[in-house]
A = this chain, B = another copy of it.
Amino acid sequence: MIIVMSVNASTREISAVIARIKELGYQAHLSQGQERAIIGVIGDDRRIPDPDLFSLMNGVEKIMKVSHPYKLASREFHPNDSLVPLNGSMVGGKKVVVIAGPCSVENRTQILETAQAVKEAGATALRGGAFKPRTSPYAFQGMGEEGLELLAEAREATGLPIVTEVMEPGLVPLVAKYADVLQIGARNMQNYALLHAVGESQHTALLKRGMMSTMEELLMAAEYILSHGNERVLLCERGIRTFETYTRNTFDINAIPVLKQRTHLPVIADPSHATGKREYVAAAARAAVAAGADGLIIEVHNHPENALSDGAQSLTPEQFGKLVHDLRRLAEAVDRCM
């Protein structure tokens, strides 16, 4: 951490800052520039309760943080890629995994048919929501536990592991009973009670980036889960909110190489939410694989035109089959496989 003094700071003000640093148990390093003084804090300043407090001292202009606030998630302290097992593959390795299925579980036929179709097309795992976060209290909120049971039946039938969302800490044990991967949705990325509960569950977590969260905040959310000893965390870029209105979200494709550089955790992309429109999903999925994503999560519905949610961004099984076929060629061209 560095404390930048203002141009007109007095010697007394500088001394007071240094004294305060020492009081907190750190060493201070003064660097007197031509224009202003700069004071470095030596020691692990992650332990300072609120570094911004220095900005209240007279003569201080601003505080600049040097260390990353995340540690367990950081590649600096964990250089090798983390590999997370999923259906016999290791996510984060050479294989690009594909999680596919409907937004919501709607009924037995729908989920079984879709599961079978995505399995045949080459999916690694089945997604499907039983508990759904919906903007409107009047919208379909998911089938609840009955949906979880249908997912379990689909797993039985296809062998595909289940990825499904959990929305509140109290439901983690129930959802974990049925699911192979606990999805934490974008709106819940900073629901700390939920992160805590999922961290303690020791279940694999798929953590979606909030739609207006920075990558640093995503890594800090992962840090919450990791700090409970649960190391099986998959990060997911699913589009962020910007001023653009032609698409539902703006797919932050940069996040893929940036996260791969900063963290050892696998990075999944969600081209369905990142675009919000079926006709753009294939292009976004290709871009994600080309940029280095370790996996994709794609919405597929046996009859999108009847879906209770997200139909407009869901592929048909045929479209999904063609996409996986195209992605296989592409994956090879970037030395991955599918």
Contacts and interface: CB of A to CB of B under 8 A. Distances in A.
Given A2-B38, A2-B64, A216-B246, A52 B312 contact: yes
Contacts of A38: 2, 40, 66
A330 interface: yes
A69 interface: yes
A10 interface: no
Interface stretch (A81-89, A120-128, A153-161, A186-194): A186-194
A215 interface: yes
Given A56-B305, A190-B133, A287 B253 contact: yes
A116 interface: no
Interface in A1-27: 2, 4, 6-8
Interface in A302-338: 304-312, 326, 329-330, 332-334
B242 A250 contact: yes
Contacts of A190: 133, 135, 187
Residue from the set A137, A188, A251, A256 with the largest chain B CB neighbour count within 10 Å: A137
Contact of A334 (B64, B191, B192, B286): B286
B333 A227 contact: no
Given A33-B42, A332-B333, A280 B257 contact: yes
Residue from the set A254, A305, A329 with the largest chain B CB neighbour count within 10 Å: A254
Contact of A284 (B57, B77, B253): B253
B291 A283 contact: yes
A55 interface: yes
Contacts of A31: 29, 31, 40, 42
A312 B56 contact: yes
A279 interface: yes
A240 interface: yes
Nearest to A141: B192
A174 to B, nearest CB: 13
A222 B253 CA distance: 25
A168 interface: yes
By Cβ-Cβ distance, the 6 closest A-B pairs, closest first, are A212-B212, A290-B290, A257-B283, A333-B333, A168-B193, A287-B287
